[in-house]
Amino acid sequence: MTLREAAAAIPNDASRVYQFVPLTEGAEAESDLSDDASPDWTIIAACSSDAYVEDIDWLELAVVPNRLLDEQTRRDVLNGYYRNAVSCGWIREGMEAGPPDIPKR
């Protein structure tokens, strides 16, 4: 799902945290996300304060640029390889806890 598709359902007042996921070891995470309705980013993992998007107060999304999504990465996403890229636990505990480690291929 792209950020544009997700933005249509996410409440405007929901807090968002983005994890920009580098897909290869040593790669720099990109952070050129000028607006969260961009079709240029794909969500590869997410967690939130509620099971229903319409009711969330906060949301954590792991995203990658579409241009970096190859077939292997798509399979990895479907097989849950990146599910630990988000945890939402550090949001609940406070921002000082920092984001979780993100797996790299």
pLDDT of 46-78, one tens digit each?
Answer: 888 888 888 888 888 888 888 888 899 889 988
101: which 2 tokens? 């480690």
38: which 2 tokens? 């961009």
- Is residue 103 situated within a structural domain? no
76: which 2 tokens? 């990895």
Structurally, the chain folds into a number of domains equal to 1
- Is residue 33 situated within a structural domain? yes
pTM confidence score: 0.71
Instruction: Say what the pLDDT of residue 71 is.
Output: 92
- Is residue 105 situated within a structural domain? no
- Is-contact 64 3, C-beta < 8 A? no
CA-to-CA distance for 35 and 60, rounded, in angstroms? 15
- Domain with 58, as residue range(s), is 3-97
Contacts of 47 (CB under 8 A, 6+ apart): 59, 60, 86, 87, 88
